[in-house]
Chains A and B, each alone.
Chain A
Amino acid sequence: MSEQIASAWRLLPEYLSAHIVLSAAALGAGLLIALPLAVLAARRPAFAWPLLSFASLVQTIPGLALLALFYPLLLALSALSGRWFGVTFPALGFLPALLALTLYALLPILRNGVTGLTGVDKAAVEAAKGVGMTPMQSLWRVEAPLAAPVVMAGVRTAAVWTIGAATLATPIGQTSLGNYIFSGLQTENWVFVLFGCAASAVLAFIVDQALGLVETGTALRDARRIVAGVAALLVGTGLAVTGLARPNAASYVVGAKNFSEQYILAELFAERLQAEGANVRQKQGLGSAIAWRALVSDEIDVYVDYSGTLWANVMGRTDVPPRDVMLAELTQWMKEKRGVTVLGSLGFENAYAMLMRRARAKELNIRSLEDLSGKAGNLALGADIEFLDRPEWAALQKAYGLAFRDKRSFNPTFMYRALSSGEVDVISGFSSDGRIIADDLLALEDPRHAIPSYDAVILLAPKRADDALLQRALKPLVGAISVDLMRAANLSVDRDNDKSTPLAAARALESQIRK
């Protein structure tokens, strides 16, 4: 417990600075866009409806989806601009997060801006004209000051929303306080989840108070309050910017998808790279497809993926060759077609495996997927969120015709819970999962070889193909991690009691490898 709190505190400066810089940039951009639009909409009511409708529409898109949508969009734009102008830009990390959050900040500013400006006393506006003000003078000297309290209330709302939604930037590779929440959820490290929520809430509260000071300042025309509020915000943002701007020499970016094994392996890689003197950053909690594309576009330098996943999803292959053949073909294809180096297999598989409680399987007399196919009609399947859309599931259905009574999707952690509680009978688990030992589960055999093998392989980005430091640090890991070692490491992070952090698990794993 206290180890987790201590490690949470250690990460705070990095996460908090990134979170503040992202939120401040998004709020600033939101203001720069929304305020002129609000003036336009207030002056020309014809524009108000489409603008406000658009902003409301954006608001109805779930924050996570909005952030995720910017990734493929930017990827396509970057490819286009690369072709036309020779300029590419990152599709992952800060930029998509900034754009999505900026869109998110528009609505409250726009809506309060229009309400505030159209609500200004008509007599005052007419008087402004009557005393000889130009439209611009009227806006700055009369309408803006009179609308300011209402506009500021909108800015406060936007700030709180933005700070909250910025936690969702983690899965698209932007560090934020969401890193605590996402990694905590995956590893059931509730201390991390709470820590991330609390930090984001405290930040939102402080910013809201500072903006509240500005708001009452504009309402009471008290310059001291406005200056105090603005100064507090600027100092906070300034500190965050300087906190981020640490010198980072030749720095490597290690990617990780969003489950415990990936966190542990990323920490293991990072430790090894640091031991070689490299400066390392991690982009954790990436979606499966996002991690791959990030590697191809050199936005991350290294991560671990699984041969079967790449075989089906990236190469688009539906045949299932033996393990060695697949690995060899994959390695060659990656190099030739994508410039990606497959450094080697770590030595274990994390294959999709249909798991049942051992007792339940015995009771139903099920040992393999063939046994299961006859009885699936009475059973419920629990799947992780991706599985039912994956080609592996299609292949399984084709080979065994599995027609379950019920199919439900879960976050991986809750999927195991559902299996233990009997809510579902079969789950799409992973063969390296520590919970197989802990929960006494049975991985059903696949006699028809419908599921390809899933060797954990180290992938290097195109630009790191010949990087000596990466080779030195990571080559020794090839073939060094048995499935038992990985299961034990995963279990130490996933279990409920005496949990390790991914970093501690990585260190324990390292000492096991050395033996």
Chain B
Amino acid sequence: MSLLEVESLCAGYGDLTIVWDVSLKVEEGEIAVLLGGNGAGKTTLIESIVGINPPQKGSIRFKGEEIQRRGVHRMAELGITLVPQGRGLFGSMSVLENLYLGSYAPIPRAKRAESLEYVYSLFPILRERKTQKAGSLSGGEQQMLAIGRAIMSDPQLLILDEPSLGLAPRLVETVFRSIVEIRRQKKIGVLLVEQNLRQALSVADRGYVLESGRMVLEGRPEDLEANEHVKRAYLGC
């Protein structure tokens, strides 16, 4: 039984279908990456998995249980957390309040102090910035806060939508390292959405390529990297 199993999923907006018949899975303790260019439908797919934009068709199972039509606000208690594209921070609230909100659901709330220490150990800068408004942080710090806030909910499945977007290379490095670190220490499943193909594949256990709303490739990262189509379309060689 996989941690997350998506089967023949169609998703879109109203009558418009953007993502067609997509299947993917994430096993416990592994990092799966979902690759695809701008407008491929990555965000649409992810948001449909967590119920922000419920799927038009197909099934979504989490630890064997059908979770479709549960509503977004039930995901945290199930153990699924999304770091949305653009981070979705509560900009006018303090760093600490953002982190507290990450552990709003009852189960993670019981572990709040412990999770907070863990997040501070991952990103020491957040401790220094804890009274500052989230909106006043630099881009890199905001991404750390977004990841930290997600970790506060003590998830079993962490989904990240383009966490490296708009970050300087050094910060991209930090973000990727922290994801690997979290996976190793917490033994959780990670679904990482990225356009930063080479770096994403280097940390991945499994890869998927989405193009125009269809899953065109899937497989081991080294196979994807060696794939002629991937090379031409994404690696520029």
The answer to whether A and B belong to the same complex is: no
Residues of A within 8 A of B (CB): none
